[in-house]
């Protein structure tokens, strides 16, 4: 891959997400968190779609910093629950719910259901020189009957992606990246950046 613009601001202070994204970056591309940039704000996520929430976060940080940046929003969409928790995945059990509380509520709502298919969906919003671009990544799988594994974060202990018998929480980061919805979206982002760089640095 050719060298891309060297520094981007990731509109998040979620260290788990930052670690995942940095593990996907090619050499020479630096991703900085809001903390690295000295930005300490809580960006609301009031919308009904991942696309709108991701856009709001990236635009807010671009307007505040003036830097090229990207944001992402991810939801777990469960077929038997009509797509819930979806855009409210991080707040499923309440505005300030802990991941364990969200998982517990999900498993209670799935009790007795034989249809357990689900998907993780990530939307990345990139602001590049003031213009927005979006990229989507999807990982299909199913919800387990109980939690398993100690790695990862969020709903990882109850989600098994298609093509494996392990939950995300039973995988190391390299294994997770083989299936990851976030990786699929970030790969599309990187392909775009590479094409953009070649087009604008001939």
Q: Which one of 36, 40, 42, 73 is the catalytic residue?
A: 73
Largest alpha-carbon pair distance within the chain?
Answer: 59
Does residue 73 carry a catalytic annotation?
Answer: yes
Q: Which residues contact 22 (CB under 8 A, 6 or more apart)?
A: 31
Residue of 118, 114, 115, 94 lying closest to 104 (CA atoms): 94
CB atoms < 10 A from the CB of 127, how many?
25
With beta carbons less than 8 A apart as the criterion, state whether 29 and 4 touch.
yes
- Name the residues annotated as catalytic: 73
């Amino acid at each position: 891959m050719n060298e891309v613009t060297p520094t981007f601001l990731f509109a998040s202070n979620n260290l788990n997400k930052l670690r995942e994204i940095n593990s996907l970056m090619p050499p020479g591309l630096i991703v900085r968190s809001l903390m690295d940039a000295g930005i300490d704000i809580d960006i609301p996520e009031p919308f009904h779609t991942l696309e709108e929430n991701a856009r709001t976060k990236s635009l807010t940080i671009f307007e505040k910093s003036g830097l090229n940046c990207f944001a992402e929003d991810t939801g777990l969409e469960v077929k038997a629950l009509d797509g819930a928790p979806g855009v409210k995945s991080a707040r499923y059990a309440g505005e300030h719910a802990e991941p364990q509380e969200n998982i517990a509520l999900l498993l209670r709502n799935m009790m007795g259901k034989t249809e357990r298919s689900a998907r993780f969906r990530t939307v990345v919003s990139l602001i590049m020189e003031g213009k927005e671009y979006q990229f989507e990544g999807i990982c299909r799988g199913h919800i387990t009957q109980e939690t398993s594994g100690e790695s990862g974060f969020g709903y990882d202990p109850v989600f098994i992606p298609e093509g494996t018998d392990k939950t995300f929480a039973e995988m190391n980061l390299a294994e997770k990246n083989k299936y990851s919805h976030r990786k699929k979206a970030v790969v599309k982002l990187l392909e775009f950046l590479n094409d953009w760089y070649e087009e604008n640095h001939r």
